[in-house]
């Protein structure tokens, strides 16, 4: 099945209907009407699935439960997933003051999880969290919108996620909920994308659309909160990022985020790893992160990767689970270093030839 390009964010998806539902909180039918874009041959959930398809297949849930090698020992406190953040109150106050917030931290440390938690705590039922992601070849129309031909064969304009989040009523949408716009991977965007945001990041928060010669004025509830792996420049080689303009950076209030201090507890309570294994895993992770800081190791060990490692250990055993989750994704130089650290703490010798 060929991929279709989303007219909200530009992402290409095999299942476009499911993408607009999950990424943009849009019903596929509303998406088709708003963007004059038919989702042909795309399967989604609920009424968009073919009626003769049972999803999930009958008995599938029971079968998954039978095959699952683990069950969480106890109910997990969702706060354990939050990153090591001592400035949460400061972030909340800055959002209340109308600041543009950017959270900078390593991959998989919980930046997006934190934003979702803040939105849940601070947004009302009349507000929502809009989400989009920057990528290197993204262009301003992917964010702002573009001209279209309407069903009446008239020239119209399809508003992008930025003006819809700023002021949905001014965009003529039935959806009246405003709120926050979360831009993920902000540092992956080009200079063109950053300059597009300049007016929106000012105190009066306005966006001029050249095609319609109109000025979108943000509602009082609108905020931009972004996530990034770098501050606009990466000299480690771990991330492909461009240099950000100093005037662009000057428009943000920045907070540095680190990994959650509750990783061991997550391994035990969420994944179901025994305490001895969890302790050994954390020793490996600690050593890897120290190696990254010293410049001896290239690839960071994220919380996301750690939990995946725990799952694979329970599914396949320590040796095979470690090869699948930890060693296989690495370049040769890092693979040898990781293997040495793992051998130091576990009672097996990773075989790099079959890893």
Tens of pLDDT, residue by residue over 99-123, are 999 999 888 888 998 999 899 999 9
10 Å CB burial of residue 26 (0-12, 13-18, 19+) is: buried
Contact 115, 103 (CB under 8 A): yes
pLDDT of residue 56: 37
Q: Is pLDDT at 232 greater than 90 in this prediction?
A: no
Q: What band does 46 get if pLDDT is binned at 50, 70 and 90?
A: very low
Report pLDDT digits (tens) over 23-36: 777 778 777 877 77
pTM of the model: 0.71
Mean pLDDT score of the chain: 82
pLDDT of residue 237: 56
Mean of pLDDT values over 300-305: 91
10 Å CB burial of residue 59 (0-12, 13-18, 19+) is: exposed
pLDDT of residue 66: 40
The greatest distance separating any two alpha carbons of the chain, rounded to the nearest whole angstrom, comes to 71
Residues 10 and 37: their CA atoms lie apart, in Å, by 13
pLDDT of residue 272: 93
Q: What band does 240 get if pLDDT is binned at 50, 70 and 90?
A: low
- Complete DSSP assignment for 320-333: HHHIIIIITTS-HH
Report pLDDT digits (tens) over 277-290: 999 999 999 999 99
Residues 63 and 107: their CA atoms lie apart, in Å, by 33
How many Cα atoms occupy the beta-carbon half-sphere of 214 within 13 Å?
13
């Amino acid at each position: 099945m060929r991929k279709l390009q989303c007219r909200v964010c530009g992402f290409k998806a095999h299942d476009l209907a499911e993408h607009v539902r999950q990424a943009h909180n849009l019903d596929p039918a509303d998406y088709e009407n708003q963007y004059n874009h038919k989702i042909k041959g795309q399967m989604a959930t609920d009424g968009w699935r073919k009626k003769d398809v049972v999803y999930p297949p009958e008995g599938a849930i029971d079968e998954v439960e039978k095959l699952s090698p683990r069950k969480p020992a106890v109910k997990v406190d969702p706060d354990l997933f939050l990153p090591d953040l001592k400035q949460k109150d400061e972030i909340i106050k800055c959002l209340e003051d109308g600041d543009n917030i950017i959270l900078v931290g390593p991959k998989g440390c919980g930046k997006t999880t934190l934003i979702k938690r803040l939105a849940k705590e601070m947004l009302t039922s009349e507000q929502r969290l809009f989400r989009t992601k920057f990528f290197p070849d993204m262009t301003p129309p992917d964010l702002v919108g573009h001209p279209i031909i309407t069903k009446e064969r008239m020239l119209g304009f399809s508003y992008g996620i930025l003006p819809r989040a700023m002021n949905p009523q001014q965009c003529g949408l039935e959806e009246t909920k405003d709120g926050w716009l979360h831009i993920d991977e902000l540092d992956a965007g080009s200079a063109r994308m950053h300059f597009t945001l300049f007016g929106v990041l000012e105190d009066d928060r306005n966006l001029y659309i050249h095609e319609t010669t109109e000025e979108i004025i943000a509602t009082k509830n609108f905020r931009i909160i972004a996530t990034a792996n770098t501050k606009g420049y990466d000299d480690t080689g771990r991330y492909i990022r461009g240099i950000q303009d100093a005037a662009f950076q000057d428009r943000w209030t920045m907070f540095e985020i680190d990994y959650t201090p509750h990783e061991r507890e997550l391994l035990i309570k969420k994944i179901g790893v025994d305490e001895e294994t969890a302790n050994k895993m954390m020793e490996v992770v600690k050593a890897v992160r120290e190696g990254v800081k010293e410049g001896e190791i290239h690839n960071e060990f994220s919380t996301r990767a750690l939990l995946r490692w725990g799952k694979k250990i329970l599914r396949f055993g320590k040796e095979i689970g470690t090869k699948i989750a930890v060693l296989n994704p690495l370049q040769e130089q890092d693979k040898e270093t990781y293997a040495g650290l793992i051998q130091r703490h576990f009672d097996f010798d990773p075989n790099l030839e079959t890893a």
